[in-house]
Chains A and B, each alone.
Chain A
Amino acid sequence: MTALTKYTFSTLQRYLLALAACALTTLIAWPLHNTLDLANTVMLFLLAVVLVAAFLGRPQAILASFASVALFDFFFVPPQISFAVSDVQYLVTFAVMLAVALFISHLTAGLKASTEEAVARQTRAQALYSFAKSLAGAVSVEQAIAETVAFIGQHAGGDALVLLPDRDESLHAFPLETDATAPSLTLAEQISARSVFRDHVAIESTGIGASGGTRLLLPLAGSTRCRGVLYVAAHASDDAPPDRPPALDRPLLEGVASLVAIGLERLHFVEVAQHSQLEMYSERLRNSILSAISHDIRTPLTSLYGLADSLATAMPALAESERETVIAIRDQALRLHQMVANLLDMARLQAGKVRLRKEWQPIEEVIGASIQAVSQAVKTHPVQVELAPDLPLVAIDAVLMERVLCNLLENAAKFSVPGAPITVAAAVENDRLALSVSDRGSGFPPGSLPRVFELFERGAAESPVSGVGLGLAICRAIVDAHDGEIRASNRDGGGACVRIALPLGRAPNIEPEPAEADGNADDGDRE
């Protein structure tokens, strides 16, 4: 009992003091009994009862009430120094005096209790307020929890432990470095903690603790979800009777729990905001690097390529070996440019920056354009195109799809011997457009199939074939952006095959032309 009176007496002492107060009143009133009217004497006793009620408590005031009536009767009511009563109306006096005394003691004691409670509440509120302030200033979860544990130890009379959920939503006690007396949970308590976390309902128990004493488990319920569990074990108290374990200030602890929940939530969102800011910053950095590379690296490469080409085609022609050197310079410049272009494309695709410009078109057109674009690279390989009849239109970004096919065709040419055929096929399979590029080359190295579409993955380390290993990664990124699938496999009989499946959807209608009237293309003299 955290009483706020300056003196703490034991209960027996209080009763004795109550009697002493009555005795004192008698002593004061006795010398005046001849001059003082009996009514006034009654007032003196009532005053004593009030004082006893105000300072000593209700039971003591009740004792004082009875004692006052007895002393009044014995010493002041005629015949004096006797319990006998000469006039029957004094019985009424006794009855009313007792009633009034009891009533006054009741009210006064009640008032005192209210005052005490109000002061206690005030103190609790002040404490919570200063706790809230320090919690609002906490910049990390450790700090917040340390403040909480310190506060609970100081003001709520218990040892606290905060349990926080990890990624898998299982609770773990948050460790504090300076904590030597952190309580540990028994298995039963852990189970209870989990149910508190799940159901958002507090559990208070005097029996579940290992060593007895009150235990309280409070959910830390934030606005969006439960943030953890607060576990408080009451301090062992030396003067508490063994059959009544020390209680915890539950209203205070509930206030603490909600403040801690809000604090944890705030810290969580601070982290989220910091994370977003970091993302934004790195995004900006990446974009400025990309645009710098875009122009600043490509320009000298363009010049290199053009100047070397100009030299290679100069008239009068250079000596043969010099001309070959210059052609090599030109080709290296082109390769470098392609690598830079690949890197930039990959960076852009990875950043999710690419917006598809999808248009409905026949896949045939992109196939034709790709073959034309890589005609130099595949000139030593016959390319066959096998298209199923009546293929529907497909919604694709032509420029990006052309890149995919060019990459696949170039790979096919790179990894197979001159003369080996390359086949591009398209057909409808399972509501999707199935596109494939196959060759009769060396195929994918055994065991590498799961990884071929990874970044910087090359067929064989240090292979003589050029490239940084981005081609297939770019293909996958583009196909993914189209909600399609890409798969690599080795063919029976040797060679590699890359298959792409693209979703079809509802192609727009092409209105048929109005029936021919006259004067246009369908003249009578043509069949």
Chain B
Amino acid sequence: MSGGVGSTILIVEDEKQIRRFVRQALEREGHRMFEAETIAQGLAEAGSSKPDLVVLDLGLPDGSGVQFIETLRTWSSAPVLVLSARASERDKIDALDAGADDYLTKPFSVGELLARVRALLRRRRPAQEQAEPLVRFGDVEVDLARRQVRRAAQPIRLTAIEYRLLVAMINSAGKVLTHRHLLREVWGPPYSDSTHYLRVYVGHLRRKLEIDPAQPRHFLTEIGVGYRFRQ
């Protein structure tokens, strides 16, 4: 399974028409699709067809998406893309913290769906390879091996925490990271609710590494949920 083409994808969604257009879009990309209407069905299907990616709706009638994810995660590390309504950030955050990898807000376009799916399937590869030591985005180059950061070939000074944050975000490039997750990873569990620290430090990174810190292109805000680093 490489490049994400021709993967097996499971969609767990109770609304028939949404299943339909998602299936159409993904089959066009060359993926093999399986469908389920309920959590129970979804888990059963996941067990039998062993998908490379699961698209999960958070509004299922017979249980919460978090239950599904937790159960799935006991035996599968397949990426999970959750679909949720707008204005339910809490649901998204809970799902992400439980092990989901990314989310889409309804209504979403085919283009957004495909972009997310591609990003999630592509990341399966690095499990077998070494991560790249050199990361480039915009006019910035990060040398993870030597712990050096350059911008337009000039060295940039980052504090310890700024660097840790940068690395955490680079390592999950393309994937949404909740506030809580970043706070725990960079500052540690006692800080998991001190979101102001995270926001201020992301602000520092933007000021140092973005062309227009007020309209960032790489350190993106996922409002109400967290951040996403995009190369």
A residues neighboring B (CB under 8 Å)? 294-295, 298-303, 305-307, 309-310, 312-315, 330, 333-334, 337, 341, 345, 359-362, 364-369, 371-373, 383, 385, 387, 393, 398-399, 402, 507-508, 510, 513, 516, 520-523, 525-527
Contacts of A365 in B (CB 8 A): 199, 202-203, 221
Contact, CB under 8 Å: A306 / B148: no
Assuming the contacts A306-B21, A362-B203, asked whether A527 and B157 have C-beta atoms less than 8 A apart, the reply is: yes
User: B107: which of A305, A361, A525 is its contact (CB, 8 Å)?
Assistant: A305
Closest to B199 in A: A361
Among B42-50, B95-103, B160-168, which stretch is in contact with chain A?
A: B160-168
- 20 residue pairs of the A-B complex, CB under 8 angstroms, read A303-B20, A305-B108, A305-B109, A307-B21, A310-B24, A310-B110, A312-B110, A314-B24, A341-B86, A345-B87, A362-B203, A368-B213, A368-B215, A369-B223, A371-B214, A385-B215, A398-B224, A510-B200, A516-B160, A522-B158
Q: Most chain-A Cβ atoms within 10 A of its Cβ — which of B59, B87, B159?
A: B87
User: B223: which of A399, A513, A527 is its contact (CB, 8 Å)?
Assistant: A399
Q: State the CA gap A367–B213 with chains docked (Å).
A: 11
User: B109: which of A309, A341, A369, A402 is its contact (CB, 8 Å)?
Assistant: A309
Contact, CB under 8 Å: A521 / B59: no
0 or 1 for each of B163-186: is its CB under 8 Å from A? (1 = yes): 110000000000000000000000
Contact, CB under 8 Å: B25 / A310: yes
B111 lies within 8 A of chain A by Cβ? yes
Contacts of B15 in A (CB 8 A): 299, 302-303
Contact, CB under 8 Å: B21 / A521: no
Contacts of A360 in B (CB 8 A): 195-196, 199
User: B110: which of A306, A337, A373 is its contact (CB, 8 Å)?
Assistant: A306
Contacts of A372 in B (CB 8 A): 215, 220-221
Contact, CB under 8 Å: B223 / A402: yes
Contacts of A305 in B (CB 8 A): 107-109
Q: State the CA gap A369–B77 with chains docked (Å).
A: 31
0 or 1 for each of B11-55: is its CB under 8 Å from A? (1 = yes): 000010110111011001000000000000000000000000000
What is the interface residue range for chain B against chain A?
Answer: 35 or more
The 8 A-B residue pairs whose C-beta atoms are closest, nearest first, are A521-B163, A303-B17, A385-B214, A520-B160, A306-B21, A360-B196, A369-B221, A305-B107
B129 lies within 8 A of chain A by Cβ? no
Contacts of A294 in B (CB 8 A): 85
Contact, CB under 8 Å: A302 / B195: no
Closest Cβ of chain B to A399, distance in Å, is: 4
Contact, CB under 8 Å: A368 / B214: yes
Contact, CB under 8 Å: B160 / A313: no
Closest to A401 in B: B223
Closest to A521 in B: B163
Assuming the contacts A310-B24, A360-B196, asked whether A295 and B59 have C-beta atoms less than 8 A apart, the reply is: yes
User: A306: which of B28, B87, B109, B206 is its contact (CB, 8 Å)?
Assistant: B109
Contact, CB under 8 Å: B21 / A298: no
Contact, CB under 8 Å: A309 / B21: yes
Assuming the contacts A306-B110, A520-B163, asked whether A393 and B196 have C-beta atoms less than 8 A apart, the reply is: yes
Contacts of A520 in B (CB 8 A): 147, 160, 163
Contact, CB under 8 Å: A313 / B111: yes
User: A361: which of B148, B195, B215, B216 is its contact (CB, 8 Å)?
Assistant: B195
Contacts of B109 in A (CB 8 A): 305-306, 309, 330
Q: State the CA gap A386–B203 with chains docked (Å).
A: 16
- Extra 17 A-B pairs, beta carbons < 8 Å, given A310-B21, A314-B24: A295-B85, A298-B85, A298-B107, A303-B17, A303-B21, A307-B17, A313-B110, A333-B107, A361-B195, A361-B199, A368-B214, A369-B223, A399-B224, A402-B224, A507-B196, A521-B162, A526-B155
Contacts of B148 in A (CB 8 A): 523, 525-526
Contact, CB under 8 Å: B196 / A508: yes
Closest to A333 in B: B107
B212 lies within 8 A of chain A by Cβ? yes
Q: State the CA gap A360–B87 with chains docked (Å).
A: 20
Closest Cβ of chain B to A391, distance in Å, is: 10
Q: State the CA gap A337–B106 with chains docked (Å).
A: 10
Contact, CB under 8 Å: B87 / A393: no
User: B157: which of A359, A362, A371, A526 is its contact (CB, 8 Å)?
Assistant: A526
Q: State the CA gap A359–B180 with chains docked (Å).
A: 13
Contact, CB under 8 Å: A371 / B215: yes
0 or 1 for each of B64-87: is its CB under 8 Å from A? (1 = yes): 000000000000000000000111
Closest Cβ of chain B to A206, distance in Å, is: 73
Contact, CB under 8 Å: A300 / B17: yes
Closest Cβ of chain B to A315, distance in Å, is: 6
B94 lies within 8 A of chain A by Cβ? no
Closest to A299 in B: B15
Closest Cβ of chain A to B165, distance in Å, is: 10
Assuming the contacts A364-B213, A365-B202, A368-B216, asked whether A337 and B21 have C-beta atoms less than 8 A apart, the reply is: no
Closest to B222 in A: A369
Contact, CB under 8 Å: B199 / A527: no
Q: State the CA gap A333–B195 with chains docked (Å).
A: 36
Q: Most chain-B Cβ atoms within 10 A of its Cβ — which of A294, A310, A364, A368?
A: A368
Q: State the CA gap A76–B200 with chains docked (Å).
A: 125
Contact, CB under 8 Å: B21 / A361: no
Contact, CB under 8 Å: A306 / B108: yes
Contact, CB under 8 Å: A298 / B223: no
Closest Cβ of chain B to A174, distance in Å, is: 51
Contacts of B18 in A (CB 8 A): 299, 302-303, 306
Contacts of A369 in B (CB 8 A): 220-221, 223
Closest to B162 in A: A521
Contacts of A359 in B (CB 8 A): 195-196, 199
Assuming the contacts A306-B22, A359-B195, asked whether A522 and B214 have C-beta atoms less than 8 A apart, the reply is: no
Closest Cβ of chain A to B3, distance in Å, is: 19
Closest Cβ of chain A to B90, distance in Å, is: 9
Contact, CB under 8 Å: A309 / B110: yes
Closest Cβ of chain B to A370, distance in Å, is: 8
Closest to A337 in B: B107
Assuming the contacts A303-B17, A521-B158, asked whether A362 and B221 have C-beta atoms less than 8 A apart, the reply is: no
Contacts of B149 in A (CB 8 A): 526
Contact, CB under 8 Å: B223 / A373: yes
Q: State the CA gap A142–B197 with chains docked (Å).
A: 65
Q: State the CA gap A294–B224 with chains docked (Å).
A: 20
Q: Most chain-B Cβ atoms within 10 A of its Cβ — which of A302, A313, A345, A393?
A: A302
Q: State the CA gap A366–B110 with chains docked (Å).
A: 26
